[in-house]
Structure 1
Amino acid sequence: MDTEPQDPVVVALSKLVPAGVDRGRLTRESGRQLRWVAAGRATPPVVLVSGAGEVGLDWAVVLPSLAEGSRVIAYDRAGLGASDAISRLTLDSQVRDLVALLDDVGPAVLVGHSWGGLLAQLAAFARPDQTLGLVLLDPFHEDSTAEVPLALRVSSNLLLNAIPVLKTLGLFDRIAANMGRTLAERCTDDLEIQASITEAYRASYRTFGQVTTIRAENRLANTCTREVRAARATSTAPDVPMRILTATRGKPAALRQRSGDLADQTAAVFARGVHVVVPDSGHYIHKDQPAAVVEAVGAVLAQVDRDTQ
C-alpha cells in the first residue's frame, strides 16, 4: 500500500473523506497493474464494482458514508482509470481480476452496480469463501436485453462505435468534463472540491485506450449471454446476506417489469436474498438515492457481524 498525493483521484476523494484515502496496486500477469483506492479502517472490507466503462471514482457520492463504517475499496478494471490494459478483455479476465482482488483484501462484501453487479455475482460463485455478502444495484442480467427497444439498442451501438472518433476529435474530453462535473455536484457544494473531482474524472479517461475500453466492456455485455447462463447453471450461490436494489425511473415499462422479475429470480437464488425497489431512482441508484445504498450495505454488514459472532 502506498499513498500518492499526486494521483488526482486520491486527491479528490481525500477532500471528501477526512481520514484520507490510500492507493493500492495489485500485480497481475505479465506485471500488469490493477489500481484501487481505499478509505476507512473498520472491517470487514467492502469492495465496490462499477458499471460498464466506469471507474472507481464513480462511487464518490457514497464512498465517504460507507467509509465511516468499513474499509471501502474501489478499483479500476483493466484498461480503465489508472489500471493497465489487458491484452484480451473477456468476461473471464474481469472475473479473475475481481477474484484476485478479493484474495488480496478479502473476505469482503461485494457491492456491484449494473455490469459490476453481474461481475460481483460471478466472483461470489467462483470464490464463496471470500464473499461475506452482496449488494447489487440495478444489476445487469443477460436475459433483460430482449426487452430493450430496438431503437434504443441501435442508438446505443451507434454511440459506442462513435466513442473512438469522439476521442480522436477531442470531443470526448468535453463529455468527460460534463460527466465529472455532474458527479462532483452530487458529492458536494464546495466549488474547489467540485473542481478536483471533475479533474480526477477527466484524468480517468485521458487516453485513447481508456476510452476504447468503455466500448469493449459494453460489447462484452452484448455477447456474454451463453457464458453467463452456463456459470449460473453450474454454480451454487453462497449462503450470505444479499440485497438487490432496482430502479424505478428511466426504463420502458416492459423493461422495468422484466428487470423486476429478474431481480426477484436473482434474489431467490440466495437463501438470504432480498429485492428492494428504490423509489424515485434511475439506473445510478448510488447517485440518485445514495442513502438507500448506504442503508442496504449497512444491513448486509450487520448480518455479516451476526454471522461471525
Structure 2
Amino acid sequence: MDTGTQDPVVAALSRLVAAGVIRHELTRESGRRLRWVEAGGAGPPVVLISGAGEVGLDWAVVLPTLAERSRVIAYDRAGLGASAPVSRLTLDSQVRDLVALLDDIGPAVLVGHSWGGLLAELAALARPDRTRGLVLVDPFHEDTTAEVPLALRVASSIVLTALPLLKAIGLFNRVAANMGRELARRCTDDPMTQALVTQAYLASYATYAQVVTIRTENRLANACTRQVRAARATSAVPDVPMRLLTATRGKPAALQQRSRDLAEQTAARFQRGAHVVVPDSGHYIHKEQPAAVVDAVLAVLAEADRETP
C-alpha cells in the first residue's frame, strides 16, 4: 500500500477526505494490477462499484461522508482508470475481480450503481460469505433492454461505436473535461480541489484503450441476459440487509415503469430487501441526491453491525 502521491485520484480524494486516502493494488492473473483506494477505517468495509465505463472517482460526492462512518473502498475495473486491462473482458471476469477484492479485504457491504449494481448482486450470489449487505443504486437489470425505444438503442449504439474515433480526434477529451468539472462542482466549492478532481477525472480516461473499455463494458449489457438469468436461477439469495434505490427522472415512461417493476421484484427476492423511490433524481442518484445513498448505506451498515457477534 502507499499514499499514492503521484496518483491524481488519490490527490483529489485526499482534498475531500480529511484523514486522507490510501492507494492499494491487487495482483490478478498474469500479474495485472487492479487499483483501489481506501478511506476511513472503522466499521465493516463498504465497496463502491461504479456504472459501466465509469471509475472509482465517480463516487467522490458520497465517499467523504461515508468515510466518516466506515472503511470505504472504491476501485477501478480492469481497463479503466489505473487498473490494467484484462486479456478478455467479460461479465465473468468482472465478477471474479470483484470477488477477489472481497477475498482480500474481507466481508463487505456492496454499493453498486447501474451496471455496478448488477455486478454487486452477482458477486453476492456467488459469494454470500463475503457479502454483509447490498445497496443497489438505480441498478441495471437485464430485462430492461427490451423496453428501451428503438431510436434510443440506435443512438446509443452509434455513440458507443464512435467513442474511440472521438478519442483519437480529441473530442472525447472535451466531453470528459465537462463531465469532470460537473463532478467537481458537486463535490466542493473550493476552486483548487475542483481543479484536482477534474484533472483526476481526465487522467482516468487518458488513453485510447480506456475509452475502448467504456464501449466494451456497455456492450456487455446487451449480451448478458441469458447468463444473468442462469445465475439468478441457480444461486441462493443471501440473507443480508438490502436497499434498492430507483430514480424518478430521465427515462421514457414505459422504461421508467418497467424499471420500477423490476426493482420491486429484485427487492422482494431478498428477505430483508427494501425498494426506495428517490424523488427528483435522475440515474446518477449518488451525485444528484447523495443523502439518499448515504442514508441507505448507513441503514444497511447499522443492520449488518447488529448481526456481528
> What TM-score do you get using the length of structure 2 for normalisation?
0.99
Question: 2-side partners of 1:295 and 1:21: how far apart?
Answer: 22
Read off the aligned partner of 1:145 and give its amino acid letter.
T
Q: CA deviation at 1:280?
A: 0.3
Listed one character per residue, the Cα deviations across residues 17-49 of structure 1 (whole Å, up to 9, x for unaligned) are 010000000000000000001100112000000
SS at match of 1:300: helix
Q: Match for residue 128 of structure 1?
A: 128
Q: Answer yes or no: is 1:279 the counterpart of 2:292.
A: no
Distance, in Å, in 1 between the alignment partners of 2:155 and 2:46 is 35
Structure 2 residue runs without a partner (length 5+): none
Report the counterpart of residue 63 of structure 1 in structure 2. Answer: 63
For residue 302 of structure 1, give the secondary structure of its aligned residue in structure 2.
helix
User: Equivalent residue for 1:6?
Assistant: 6
Pairing 1:240-251 to 2, within 5 Å after superposition: 240-251=240-251
Instruction: Return the offset for 1:174.
Output: 0.8
Matches within 5 A, 1:148-163: 148-163=148-163
Task: Give the Å deviation of 1:6.
Answer: 1.2
- Report the Cα offset of residue 2 of structure 1: 1.5
Identical counterparts, % of pairs: 78
**Secondary structure of 1:223 counterpart:** coil
- SS of alignment partner, residue 143 of structure 1: helix
CA distance in 2, matches of 1:275, 1:148: 22
Q: What corresponds to 1:177 in structure 2? A: 177
1:210 matched to which residue of 2? 210
Q: Distance in 1 between matches of 2:245 and 2:183?
A: 21
Letter of the 1:211 counterpart: V
Aligned to 1:265: 265
2:52 corresponds to: 52
Match runs of 1:1-309 below 5 Å:
1-309=1-309
Shift of residue 253, structure 1, vs aligned partner: 0.8
How far does the alpha carbon of each residue in 1:54-112 deviate from its partner, in whole angstroms, 9 at most, with x for none?
Answer: 00000000000000000100000000000000000000000000000000012000000
Q: 3-state DSSP class of the match of 2:142? A: coil
Partner Cα distance (1:2, 1:168) in 2: 33
Shift of 1:233: 0.5
Number of residue pairs matched by the alignment? 309
Instruction: For residue 158 of structure 1, report the CA deviation from its aligned partner.
Output: 0.4
Q: CA deviation at 1:307?
A: 1.1
For 1:162, the aligned partner's letter is A
Give the drift of 1:184.
0.2
In structure 2, distance between residues paired with 1:264 and 1:235: 19
* Stretches of structure 1 lacking an aligned partner (at least 5 in a row): none
Structure 1 residue 3: deviation in Å? 1.4
Tell me which amino acid in the other structure corresponds to 2:269.
V
Q: For residue 211 of structure 1, give the secondary structure of its aligned residue in structure 2.
A: helix
Distance in 1 (CA, whole Å) between partners of 2:83 and 2:70 is 24
Whole-Å Cα distance in 2 between the matches of residues 236 and 119 of structure 1? Answer: 16
Aligned amino acid, residue 29 of structure 2: E
Q: SS where residue 222 of structure 1 aligns?
A: coil
* One-letter amino acid matched to 2:38: A
SS of corresponding position for 1:65: helix
Distance 2:98 2:265 in 1: 24
Cα-to-partner distance string for 1:222-271 (whole Å, 9 max, x where unaligned): 10000000000001110000000000000111111000000011001110
* SS of alignment partner, residue 4 of structure 1: coil
**1:5 CA displacement:** 1.1
Matched residue SS, 1:87: coil
